[in-house]
Chain A
Amino acid sequence: MSFLLEKAECNKAAFHHLKQLKLFAAAIHCGYYYCIQKIIHILKEYYTEEYNRGLQSLKGGHGNRHRFYIEEFSSILTNNRKEQREVRSLLFQLRTLRIAADYEDSEVSDVNIEAVGDGINKIQRLIRKNLHL
């Protein structure tokens, strides 16, 4: 197993553990990074050329990298446009929640955390269905 995938799995375990401890903001952080690390691993491992080419053409800061990972990944995941759109939207929403959880002076409720868990599960299901990973 690659170190990146191992770290992704740690973040997934941390998400569930932190959720149980009701440490919701930290759980959202780990849930988002689980998804991002998993998709970077998939892009690097199975779509190396597209990944390298895309990274070279990138301008701007770190935020642009996440946008690239999400857009590139949703387009290669499946030819089904409804699923492409679903993954893209879910990942961008998770990114927004992660930024709010990390930096904003606002509470994260248990309602949010359940929705985040469902979103992560949906992404996992689509990866398993389309890439068998």
Chain B
Amino acid sequence: MTIQAFIEHSFLRIQQVFPNVAIAYQYVANAETHFIKVTPKSIFDYEQFIDIDFELTDLFNQQGFSEILCFVSSDALVTIDQPSKVYSPKPNSSYIEWFQYQETIATTVNISIPLAEIKQQTPESSFPDSFSCRNLSLSIAA
């Protein structure tokens, strides 16, 4: 197995179990280290993801690669800013439905508060430019 084939296999293996995670791969040549970044962190910490991490690390070691394999997440110390391979999940249908529902609410419910309805009372304070909340009465139009 070549390293490219291993990285391809790793992406597919992770996507197979967690189709909604984002994956990025970057090789840091100076440190001879292959970084695979998986987000969100909540998934990264799942027991099931830890199984995959160990499985892939064992497979990597069995192949006798001379480099290092390192899994990281959003709290990584290293910056994965030039990934050579990326997987971004598509939003699933339930997310799309949820966003569509939110849009419907935003366009059909119109809450308006006419500024003319806000009455200002004479402040009791000795500082005429400032007033406390209690001195403001708000009447909101239905």
Chain A residues close to B by CB (< 8 Å): 60, 63-64, 67, 81-82, 85, 88-90, 92-97, 99-100, 103-104, 112, 115-116, 119
Known: A93-B78, A96-B78, A97-B78. A85 touches B71 (CB 8 A): yes
Return the contact of A116 from the options B28, B31, B35, B77 (Cβ within 8 A): B77
Return the contact of A85 from the options B31, B33, B50, B77 (Cβ within 8 A): B50
* In contact, B77 and A94 (Cβ under 8 angstroms): yes
* In contact, B68 and A67 (Cβ under 8 angstroms): yes
* In contact, A85 and B53 (Cβ under 8 angstroms): yes
Residue among A92, A112, A115 facing the most chain B CB atoms (10 A cut-off): A92
CB contacts under 8 Å to A, within B72-116, are: 72, 76-78
Interface residues on chain B, number (Cβ under 8 Å): 18
Interface of A is mostly: helix
* In contact, A93 and B30 (Cβ under 8 angstroms): no
Return the contact of B30 from the options A64, A90, A103, A119 (Cβ within 8 A): A103
Q: How far is the CB of B43 from chain A (nearest CB, A)?
A: 13
Chain B residues close to A by CB (< 8 Å): 28, 30-33, 35, 45, 50, 53-54, 66, 68, 70-72, 76-78
Known: A92-B33, A92-B68. A81 touches B54 (CB 8 A): yes
Chain A, Cβ-Cβ closest to B31: A96
Selected A-B contacts with CB under 8 Å, 29 pairs: A64-B66, A67-B68, A81-B50, A81-B54, A82-B45, A85-B53, A85-B54, A88-B70, A89-B71, A89-B72, A90-B77, A92-B33, A92-B70, A93-B70, A93-B72, A93-B76, A94-B77, A96-B28, A96-B31, A96-B33, A97-B77, A97-B78, A99-B31, A100-B28, A100-B30, A103-B30, A104-B30, A112-B77, A116-B77
